[in-house]
Chains A and B, each alone.
Chain A
Amino acid sequence: MEAIILQILNGLDKGSAYALIALGLTLIFGTLGVVNFAHGALFMIGAFCAVTLSRILTLSYTVVDETKTDFLGNPAKVDVPYVYDLFGQATGDAIIDWAVPLSILFAIPVMMVIGFVMERGLIKHFYTRPHADQILVTFGLAIVLQEVIKYFYGANPIPTPAPQAFTGSFDFGAALGFDPNLIIYPYWRIIYFVFAAIIIGAVFAFLQFTTFGMVVRAGMADRETVGLLGINIDRRFTIMFGLAAAVAGLAGVMYTPINSPNYHMGMDFLVLSFVVVVVGGMGSLPGAVLAGFLLGILESFASMREVLAVLPGLNQIIIYLVAIIILLTRPRGLMGRKGVMEE
């Protein structure tokens, strides 16, 4: 029982990341009809937004501190971050400590702008071209984006810790009445899951309850008719692309404390996220979210020691295996609609 709860929890954070990326992919596919292979790169850029902000916050100048000496006996040089001057030392430290959550504010406008530029500058010209061309051009874009990041940030993973308040673990077992220390779960992962749930809820609420969302949903169902109503659907779709980029970016920002970001993390996630989208059903938002969590949890169950003893390596292939089985038995995925991407 404890083991099962633990695996479900373990699956949640990866599942959250899959779900967020798959949600963005589906938004783009559903509204614009474009298969975006560069979406993983957006996730990666989001993660590097966090890296960038924490670097900006720790930008410092050097002063000579007469009260201390270094190991040679000379007066010590101390790096003083500029934020100290602006906010004082205590607040400054807190700001640096909270760099990752603060990056959310930083990443939203950055990702939106990147999304707008991408859509207006490139994707727009591919609406009428075959899906194969869309895959190819966004694949090329993904390579370019990841190489640019590699050029500026290097090829090695960059550790970006969570605020100190969240570095500990929560003893789920004790809270649920089991023996202590059986189900230990890091705080940050809980936060990641809650954060993902809020974002997903916000996107759904936005689509469900605003006029803007209503038009977009109508556009997903029947683009031409909505266009005929004289509604400027193109502008709204551009905004949707920005939104999807922001969702992927935020997923990346918050993921940095779980996995140190490197330039190819986007592609690693993209391959799986595509599988998630296809399993959930191309163009179905609830399907994408459901499949994201489902596959995340399945993956974590497959990595249990008891399972691996029977079927070694199952954790490596479980997602692909499930995808193949689902696609062959339910060709439209779990919640796919008729008429989306068929022949």
Chain B
Amino acid sequence: MLGLEKKDFQLLLVVAGLTLLAPFILNPFPESSGMAQFNAGYPDLMQRFVIFGIFAIGFNILFGLTGYLSFGHAAFLGVGSYGAIWMMKLISLNVIPAIFMGIVVAGIFALAVGFITLRRSGIYFSILTLAFAQMSYALAYSVLTPITGGETGLQIKSTDRPLLSNLEEGEIGRANLFGMDMRASFELNVGDWLFTFNAGYYIAAIAMLASFYLAIRIFRSPFGMMLRAIKSNQTRMSYTGLNPRPHTLAAFVISGMYAGLAGGLLVAMDTQVGPERMFWTASGEVVLMTILGGVGTLIGPVLGAGAIKYMENILSKINKDVLHQWFAFLPDGLEDFVITLIYPFIGKGWHLTLGILFMLVVIYLPGGLVEGGQRLARALRGKKASDEDGPKASTEPAE
């Protein structure tokens, strides 16, 4: 189906199902229950899940297939965002041209950066990409203030009069898709549950599914095979009459365009952008997502992006009071002790959990959550099924 093998198509269907039903799946707890704070089914967070999913899928095309570890990928996301917001400020508040602009600008920028950085490999490549990203950040932060808005960044203001819009005097433009406001939501009350279906989320989700589909096609294509060959043995690649650099550059640009798409979508959702989006910690984050989920796997980056964004938004909100509620059943002394033990890892300390988790994955689970899932599944199925691979097999590392 759709040019995919059966198991890949099944995977795509599963992902499509999960994304489209996310407002239900992510809101399993009733509003009035104490667990409600673990609900992630609100538009803002769901948008971030899929948008950073796109970012990580793109990063994985570069790192997972070719093994080139870019430490400056956030630059493309940022550049894409700036491109998109200018499109909105000047031409049209419709998100389609804005997103398109984000992809194009990021692609061109990736072409330029990749052309230079891919002349080196290994650690040199990582440092070069890092240097480019930090430079872009510094430029956006100070020098290019007329274009980037400097430290405060850019927003859509009441003075912006896009060419193709008929705004009232003083009205602040809103991102829309042919008139449909990105912030429009349909709310569904079922008993004690509240489900929100947000226009912006579904647009981002569709973009994510398209990106995911394209990533599967790339992974399974001979082009993907060439990229894996580059990772495996560049010497043999050259002595087989293939020039590794344009192949890697193509992967780099595709990966940059994915980042641009993510950047454009971020702007389409919240119509603002700031330079911190390009800071190297943002580049580090996409590395974390991809490794955590499973580098070189199809579904891994999406899972990793989801896991990290969930931790960032949910885990970080748990404070001491919440812990005291949870452990109220324990005797007082023990309660305090347990809370003292747990507290450093949650709330503001969630980065610590993330760092430890990340190290554990790199050390023990190089295949990330996906490999963890496979091992678990194998352990559960036992030996009898060891030679037959279920649908899970489609998420196997493509090396």
Chain A interface residues (CB < 8 Å from chain B): 35, 122, 125, 130-133, 135-137, 139-144, 147-148, 150-151, 267, 271, 274-275, 278, 282, 312-313, 316-317, 319-321, 323-324, 327-328, 331, 341-343
Residues of B close to A125: CB separation below 8 A:
363
Mind listing 13 A-B residue pairs with CB under 8 Å?
A: A125-B363, A140-B356, A142-B355, A147-B351, A148-B352, A275-B131, A313-B139, A316-B143, A317-B139, A317-B143, A324-B131, A341-B123, A343-B121
CB-contact partner of B124 in A130, A151, A278, A319, under 8 A: A278
List of B residues within 8 angstroms of A139 by Cβ: 284, 287, 358
A133 and B352 in contact, given A275-B127, A320-B135, A331-B120 (Cβ under 8 angstroms): no
**Cα–Cα distance between A35 and B352 once the two chains are bound (Å):** 22
In the complex, which of the residues B131, B142, B355, B358 contacts A316, with contact meaning CB atoms closer than 8 Å?
Answer: B142
- Contact with A144, one of B143, B280, B359 (Cβ below 8 angstroms): B359
In the complex, the chain B residue whose C-beta lies closest to that of A139 is B284
User: How many contacts between A and B, using CB within 8 angstroms?
Assistant: 112
User: Assuming A324-B116, A327-B127, what are 14 further A-B pairs, CB within 8 angstroms?
Assistant: A132-B126, A133-B362, A137-B359, A137-B363, A140-B356, A143-B358, A144-B355, A271-B130, A275-B127, A275-B130, A278-B127, A316-B139, A317-B135, A320-B131
Residue of A nearest to B361 (CB): A140
Question: A150: which B residues are within 8 A, CB to CB?
Answer: 349
User: Which residues of B from 114 to 130 have beta carbons under 8 Å from A?
Assistant: 116, 119-124, 126-128, 130
Among A125, A132, A278, A323, find the residue whose CB has the most chain B CB atoms closer than 10 A.
A132
Q: Which residues of A contact B9 (CB under 8 A)?
A: none
Q: Does B67 contact A (CB under 8 A)?
A: yes
Q: Is the CB of A135 within 8 A of B124?
A: no
**If A317-B138, A324-B116, A327-B120 touch, does A151 touch B352 (CB 8 Å cutoff)?**
yes
The 10 closest A-B pairs by CB, nearest first: A313-B143, A143-B355, A316-B138, A147-B352, A140-B359, A144-B355, A320-B131, A140-B358, A320-B135, A313-B142
How far is it, in angstroms, between the C-alpha of A170 and the C-alpha of B209 when the chains are bound? 65
* A140 pairs with B362, CB closer than 8 A: yes
B81 CB within 8 Å of chain A? no
Contact A331 B124 (CB under 8 A): yes
**How far is it, in angstroms, between the C-alpha of A328 and the C-alpha of B127 when the chains are bound?**
12
B69 at the binding interface (Cβ < 8 Å): yes
In angstroms, Cα B323 to Cα A31, docked, is 47
Q: Mark B89-102, 1 if CB is under 8 A from A, else 0.
A: 00000000000000
Contacts of A324 in B (CB 8 A): 116, 128, 131-132, 135
Distance, CA A151 to CA B349, complexed state (A): 7
Q: Collect the chain A residues with CB atoms within 8 Å of residue B365's CB.
A: none
How far apart are A220's CB and chain B's nearest CB, in angstroms? 17
Which A residues lie within 8 Å of B126 (CB)?
A: 132, 135
Complex CA gap A271/B284 in Å reads 12
Cβ-defined contact, A140 with B123, below 8 A: no
Distance of A317 Cα from B135 Cα, bound (Å):
5
Residues of chain A lying within 8 A (CB to CB) of residue B69: 132, 135-136
CB distance from B376 to the nearest CB of A (A): 22
Chain B interface residues (CB < 8 Å from chain A)? 67, 69, 116, 119-124, 126-128, 130-132, 134-135, 138-139, 141-143, 234-235, 280-281, 284, 287, 291, 344, 349, 351-352, 354-356, 358-359, 362-363, 366
* Assembled-state Cα–Cα distance A324/B117 (Å): 8
In the assembled complex, which residues on chain B have CB atoms less than 8 Å from the CB atom of A132? 67, 69, 126
Q: Is the CB of B124 within 8 A of A320?
A: no
Q: How far is the CB of A118 from chain B (nearest CB, A)?
A: 12
**Alpha-carbon distance between A324 and B72 when the two chains are bound, in angstroms:** 14
Task: State how many angstroms separate the Cβ of A40 from the closest Cβ of chain B.
Answer: 12
Q: Are B362 and A136 in contact (CB under 8 A)?
A: yes
| Separation of A144 and B354 alpha carbons in the complex (Å) | 8
Closest A residue to B280 by beta carbon equals: A271
- Docked CA distance A274–B126 (Å): 10
B349–A137 CB distance below 8 A = no
**Pairwise interchain contact A274-B234, C-beta atoms closer than 8 A:** no
Provide the bound-state CA to CA distance between A152 and B377, in Å: 40
**Residues of chain A lying within 8 A (CB to CB) of residue B355:** 140-144, 147
Contact A141 B131 (CB under 8 A): no
Complex alpha-carbon distance, A252 and B352, angstroms: 22
Q: Given A275-B131, A317-B138, do A144 and B356 touch, yes or no (CB 8 Å)?
A: yes
Rounded to whole Å, the gap between the CB of A148 and the closest CB of chain B is: 7
Give chain B residues whose Cβ lies under 8 Å from the Cβ of A341: 122-124
How far is the CB of B344 from the nearest CB of chain A, in Å?
5
User: A151 to chain B: which residues have CB within 8 Å?
Assistant: 344, 349, 352
Q: Which chain B positions have C-beta within 8 A of A135?
A: 69, 123, 126
CA distance in complex: A336, B120 (Å): 14
Closest A-chain residue to B134, C-beta based? A320
Q: How far is the CB of A300 from chain B (nearest CB, A)?
A: 16
- A133 partner, pick from B123, B128, B138, B366, beta carbons under 8 A: B366
**Distance of B308 from chain A, by nearest CB (Å):** 12
Known: A144-B356, A275-B127, A323-B127. A343 touches B362 (CB 8 A): no
**CB of B350, distance to nearest CB on chain A (Å):** 9
Q: Judging by beta carbons under 8 Å apart, are B143 and A343 in contact?
A: no
Name the A residues within 8 Å of B291 (CB-CB).
136
Q: How far is the CB of B203 from chain A (nearest CB, A)?
A: 33
Name the A residues within 8 Å of B124 (CB-CB).
Answer: 278, 282, 327, 331, 341
Q: Whose C-beta in chain B lies nearest to the C-beta of A331? A: B120
Query: Smallest Cβ distance from B300 to chain A, in angstroms?
Result: 14
A282 to B116 Cα, complex, angstroms: 19
Q: Within the complex, what minimum Cβ distance (angstroms) separates B226 from chain A?
A: 18
Alpha-carbon distance A89/B113, docked complex (angstroms): 62
Given contacts A313-B139, A313-B143, A316-B143, contact A323 B131 (CB under 8 A): yes
With A131-B123, A135-B126, A323-B131 known to touch, is A343 a contact of B139 (CB < 8 Å)?
Answer: no
Query: Nearest chain B CB to A280's CB is how many angstroms away?
Result: 12
Query: A298 to nearest B CB, angstroms?
Result: 14
